Homo-oligomer: A and B are copies of this chain.
Amino acid sequence: MAKSERPQSRRAALLEFAILGVLHDGALHGYELRKRLTTALGIFRALSYGSLYPALRSLVESGHISETPEPTASGKRPRITYQLTAEGKEHFQDLVAASGPDAWDDDDFDVRLAFFSRTEREVRLRILEGRRSRLEERLARVREVSARNRERMDAYTLALQQHGEERAEREVRWLEELIRAERRAALDPGPAAYDLDVLPPTRTTPPQNKE
């Protein structure tokens, strides 16, 4: 197996994880890969090529992906498609199986969730619950600050504060719904019909079609 080249910063490690995940179902070239990471998955809102291409190069060097120049007809403009190697697949499985203590940070969590359908149920539950308690800690801290100097705050700061709290509460409730669904699916029909379609409609607002 190729040497693994510590993924330097936490940010870069996350990006590499996301790349492996996206590449896991199909080879892509950089441009399309970037679109998947930004538009489709919603993760990495504005990913720069100045981050993407170095990350791809690093992954090639560490042997997790390989690049193949694709000759388009005659002999000009070679597009480069990237695909997972066997080591890359293996490495992704390792990463997706481990729920490190970072898996519930904001960015990390979104990426982990994006690959939940390739994650074991046990790990999914651990991540969801970790995320929930992380969120509850944060909420408690915010509430405490808010209570301590409520009278010193002007109306706008107060409004922002309350909106923040409400958003956090909603996310906790959303997480609890996901957790319940996981638990239900884990016990309900025995080990059959795995992984998909286990979620109830998560929409908590009535099906209003506004505007």
Contact = CB atoms under 8 A, between A and B. Distances in A.
B39 A158 contact: no
B159 A205 contact: no
A156 B114 contact: yes
Contact of A170 (B42, B157, B160, B167): B167
Nearest to A166: B205
B171 A117 contact: no
A163 B40 CA distance: 15
A199 B161 CA distance: 13
Contact of A199 (B142, B156, B210): B156
Interface string A172-211: 0010001000000000000000001111001111000010
A115 to B, nearest CB: 8
A33 to B, nearest CB: 17
Interface residues of A, number: 39
Nearest to A204: B166
A186 to B, nearest CB: 15
A44 interface: no
A160 B110 contact: yes
Contacts of A171: 163, 167
B155 A198 contact: yes
A169 interface: yes
Contacts of A41: 157
A4 interface: no
A76 B48 CA distance: 47
A203 B162 contact: yes
A178 B202 contact: no
8 closest cross-chain pairs (CB), A and B: A116-B156, A155-B199, A117-B154, A159-B202, A163-B174, A162-B202, A162-B203, A113-B160
25 contacts: A39-B145, A42-B161, A42-B164, A110-B160, A114-B156, A116-B156, A117-B157, A155-B197, A155-B198, A155-B199, A156-B199, A158-B199, A158-B202, A159-B174, A159-B199, A159-B202, A162-B203, A163-B202, A166-B170, A166-B203, A166-B204, A167-B170, A169-B205, A169-B210, A170-B170
